[in-house]
Amino acid sequence: MGAPICHQTIILCATMYQRSPCDHILLEHPTWSEFMNYGIVIPVYFGRSFIKRALDSVFAQEDVSDRLNVLIIEDGTPEPEDVKSLIAGYPVQYVKLPENHGVFYARWVGLSQLPSTVEFCAFLDQDDAWHPKFLSHLTTILMQDETLGFVACNARVMGVHGNYVLYQDRRPNLLLADLKVANQLISPSQVLIRRDALEKLNWNIDLPYPGADDWLLWLAILSLGYQATYIDEVLLDYYDHAAGAHHRKHIMAKSEEYIVEHWFPRLQLTKWDQRLYKGRIGWDHIVQGLRTKNLRHLVKGLNYLVRDPIAVNAARQFRRRHRKNHIV
């Protein structure tokens, strides 16, 4: 892994990140080595209970000869609760945001701070942990095929009532044609991304609703013409708890709806793509309503069916095809 460097501190002003420094940046750090090929961004918000586990998993990576650029983005956590004192012994860069902006913003602040030599990027959530072969195995996949923008792995879900492997009978295929209808990945922590793909996005945006920003990222990379792939090896421990974003279903739904309405056109996705997504939402409500005998879900799904029966029927065929082919 190379000799460790001292941890470094950056305090950013509250404006949207830019490639040029803000007026009020305090920077204390050595220059990154030109041989560092990985950029790992870990957004943190009230993360004292998790951060050491996440960092230990990063620095336990095996078969990785390059030093790692690890950035901790403290997303507005008040000083008594921040993680700065806990990370003093780790070779990381610490970025302190004075206000909370959300995980999407924090990830892109981190990306903007990475040196140009970084070839592969990963966004690790504060409460997750990689297995020792995460970087080496996913890097091997990316290096074998330059058309791949990102690669995802299987995960072990660490739940309150027990642990289980995330993808068992059905797995992601990560094709744009399918991913634009429904997200197939549970977390960016299970993904390694080619830096060039991120650079080509040239984003400077903020999403009003959190939750589905990772779905937007996968769609955007695939819309550039990159491919993506999945390996069935379990290389991540995903910690499932009540505060997790996927449990806030109402907020997640609003986030996805915003992306469909405002970002699908920017990604050159069509009005039919928008309709099919909404049809899938409607069909899922119908299925859930019938399975659970929940009248609210059933009525909501039937409303979608009345408004756009063609899209809901197409979504039904989509779900049937995925089930037949063992796709998420």
Domain 8-263 is in which class? alpha beta
pTM for this entry: 0.89
pLDDT at residue 11, as a whole number: 53
pLDDT at residue 114, as a whole number: 94
| Distance between CA atoms of residues 14 and 34, nearest Å | 29
Q: Contact, 120 vs 193, CB < 8 A?
A: yes
Tens digit of each residue's pLDDT (9 = 90 or more) over 151-201: 999 999 999 889 999 999 999 999 999 999 999 999 999 999 999 999 999
Tens digit of each residue's pLDDT (9 = 90 or more) over 93-127: 999 999 999 999 999 999 999 999 999 999 999 99
- The mean pLDDT value for 272-288 works out to 98
Q: Is the pLDDT of residue 146 over 80?
A: yes
pLDDT at residue 204, as a whole number: 66
- The mean pLDDT value for 66-76 works out to 93
| Distance between CA atoms of residues 139 and 156, nearest Å | 20
pLDDT at residue 243, as a whole number: 65
pLDDT at residue 8, as a whole number: 58
Tens digit of each residue's pLDDT (9 = 90 or more) over 282-293: 999 999 999 999
| Distance between CA atoms of residues 183 and 218, nearest Å | 9
Q: What percent of the chain has pLDDT over 90?
A: 80
Q: Is the pLDDT of residue 12 over 50?
A: no
Classify residue 16 by its DSSP letter.
P
pLDDT bucket at 29, cuts 50 / 70 / 90: very low
Q: Is the pLDDT of residue 35 over 60?
A: no
pLDDT at residue 209, as a whole number: 86
Domain ranges across the chain: 8-263, 271-324
Q: Is the pLDDT of residue 33 over 50?
A: no
In this predicted structure, which of 6-20, 121-135, 253-267 has the lowest mean pLDDT?
6-20
Strand-strand pairing, 120-123 and 38-44:
parallel
| Distance between CA atoms of residues 173 and 69, nearest Å | 30
Q: Is the pLDDT of residue 69 over 70?
A: yes
Q: Give alpha helix (H) positions in the chain.
A: 51-58, 103-112, 134-144, 176-179, 195-201, 213-223, 249-258, 271-292, 295-307, 309-324
